Amino acid sequence: MQAQASRTAAASDDAASRPAVIEARGLSLTFPADDGPVHALSDVDLTIRKGDFVSFIGPSGCGKTTFLRVIADLEQPTAGEVRVNGMTPREARLARAYGYVFQAAGLYPWRTIAANVRLPLEIMGYPREEQEERVRRTLELVNLTGFERKFPWQLSGGMQQRASIARALAFDADILLMDEPFGALDEIVRDHLNEQLLKLWAKTDKTIGFVTHSIPEAVYLSTRIVVMSPRPGRIIDVIESTLPRERPLDIRETPEFLEIAHRVREGLKAGHSYED
Amino acid sequence: MRRAAGDAGPVLCVLMAILVLWYAAAAALNLQWERDQAERAGRAPSLTQMLSAAMSQDRPVLPAPHQVAVEIWKTTVDKKITSKRSLVYHSWVTLSATLLGFAMGTLLGVLLAVGIVHSRALDLSLMPWIIASQTIPILAIAPMIIVVLNAVGISGLLPKALISTYLSFFPVAVGMVKGLRSPDAMQMDQMRTWSATTAQTFWKLRLPSSMPYLFASLKVAVAASLVGAIVGELPTGAVAGLGARLLAGSYYGQTIQIWSALVTASILAAALVAIVGAMHRRVLRRMGAAA
């Protein structure tokens, strides 16, 4: 217990010294609707530091996806502000600060895997040889070497999602925003991809924002877990993970893991209780 | 190969059914005249005699398929292409107007769709007119186009092609608007995360996404173009073209000539649609569809 506490303390000391990559202050977003406004986000404060793996978990409508979309400049906040690498979300988007992975792989069926990964590079105007080199490197990173000339329909769902991660990594953004990227996959594939994602994170030192519905996934992957609740969308709890960075799959059976999972579940319950 | 053979069966079946129905209808419609003739002459021919006569009238109410086939053979294979009686010559006259009109209609349709998809003002202002344009009967507007253009010294191919354009731009415009809008919200968001320009989004996402819609529209448009060219030939005073053959045939009661022109037009239409279909398959293959 003592050892654990000191390790946690060490981790947070370390965290404080790392620069903030994403900072949200008093962030609110209200969607107008016919039956009254929907408060997707209400007064959200959060700091994500460099190298963090932050998961957002909560029931539908808690604003976790909206929060990610605000960071990505896909939604405009109605109040408060967000800084991404010290810039506004729009500036950050134009500076190619982040790669975004959607729930569906969204690969173009008329492009090969390599051409799909090359797509953002073409749009961003990288020179030809560099495109090829980056495609090769990122496909290797997600273990898809050898599938360059295949079309998306020739790949399994898990492989397609890996290709879409490669596409988000191809232009070397140091932030990776992932919106339920494995939500549509079965659990076996999901476990495998979670493991690979952790390795990739360790190798590339990206800052990752990860939206999920799954408690084990959130606990397994994250250094910090943000528990959110709906109507209005707000943060209930931010949990610093005490798990080591190196995480084999069976860490999910340790008491430490289960304790964090329990705290997440409690947070979710607290956020939900007023509804009953 | 196997697919071609598999396709041929049902097509042949339908063709046989049409031929049987056609013969039956020809017999039913033409027998009356034979009966009247026999009665007037005071003869009493057998049914077989009457039937065989009904199948070889000069001006039948409905010519039998073999009469039309013989007429088509005589006016294509047996006639020099340069002859004014050659169906090949007339088909080419119509076909050239069809193809020019189809090309212009496709271009116009695509340009309108691009404008409509990218500009809300164009969407609101153009779309009602495009739909209204198709509610005007082409038979009413075709002679006016021909006459007005003739008055300013334009005659021949172009007026007919313009009528084809008028008919063919519509399915292309409507189909392409739908096709260019077919990328979903996620795909558009994805383009935004890469800060893609409108032009990049168009060339890399919208246009490739619209291909299935484009080709479905082109099939309708090419057939409509042919109809447009034929209709355009009717008010010109029947000089050349399949439309002229139809008109001349109806002036002189040459039903066999009318039907051979009709059959030729439908073969032409089927061929054009088949060519568009082949182009579609080629594009699909190039776009990585399962072979």
Partners of B193 on chain A (C-beta within 8 Å) are 72, 74, 93, 98-100
Partners of B187 on chain A (C-beta within 8 Å) are 106
Q: With cut-offs at 50, 70 and 90, classify the pLDDT of residue A4.
A: very low
**Exposure string (b/e) for B198-215, b if CB count within 10 Å is 16 or more?**
eebbbebbbbbbbbbbbb
Per-residue pLDDT for B5 more than 80?
A: no
Partners of A122 on chain B (C-beta within 8 Å) are 204
A120 and B287: CB-CB below 8 Å? Answer: no
Q: With cut-offs at 50, 70 and 90, classify the pLDDT of residue A271.
A: confident
Q: With cut-offs at 50, 70 and 90, classify the pLDDT of residue B279.
A: very high
Q: With cut-offs at 50, 70 and 90, classify the pLDDT of residue B236.
A: low
pLDDT of A3 reads 44
Mean pLDDT over residues B77-93, rounded?
A: 84
pLDDT of A207 reads 92
pLDDT in tens, B170-185: 999 999 999 999 999 9
Half-sphere exposure of B250 (CA within 13 A, CB side): 10
Q: What is the mean pLDDT of chain B?
A: 88
Task: Measure the CA–CA gap between A110 and A163, rounded to whole angstroms.
Answer: 15
Q: What is the mean pLDDT of chain A?
A: 86
Of B186, B193, B287, the CB nearest to A93: B193
Task: Measure the CA–CA gap between B204 and B50, rounded to whole angstroms.
Answer: 68
What is the topology classification, in CATH, of domain A2-97+174-275? Rossmann fold (3.40.50)
**Residues contacting A202, CB < 8 A, separation 6+:** A245, A246
Q: Which two tokens stand for residue B33?
A: 């005249």
Closest-CA residue of A relative to B193 is A93
Per-residue pLDDT for B196 more than 90?
A: yes
Mean pLDDT over residues B88-106, rounded?
A: 93
Report the percent of chain A where pLDDT is more than 90: 42
* Closest approach of B208 to chain A, Cα-based (Å): 8
B288 and A111: CB-CB below 8 Å? Answer: yes
Taking alpha carbons only, the member of A89, A92, A103, A100 closest to residue A27 is A89
Number of other CB atoms surrounding residue B36 within 10 Å:
10
User: Does the predicted interface ipTM exceed a cut of 0.90?
Assistant: no
Partners of A109 on chain B (C-beta within 8 Å) are 287-289
Task: Measure the CA–CA gap between A202 and A208, rounded to whole angstroms.
Answer: 11
Number of H helices, E strands in chain A: 9, 9
Q: What are the DSSP calls for A6-40, one per residue? A: HHHHHHHHHHHHSPEEEEEEEEEEEE--TTS-EEE
A74 and B195: CB-CB below 8 Å? Answer: no
Domain regions of chain A by residue span: 2-97+174-275, 105-172
Q: Which two tokens stand for residue B181?
A: 């809008």
Mean pLDDT over residues B44-66, rounded?
A: 85
A73 and B192: CB-CB below 8 Å? Answer: yes
Of A100, A109, A119, the CB nearest to B204: A119
B186 and A109: CB-CB below 8 Å? Answer: no
Of B193, B288, B290, the CB nearest to A100: B193
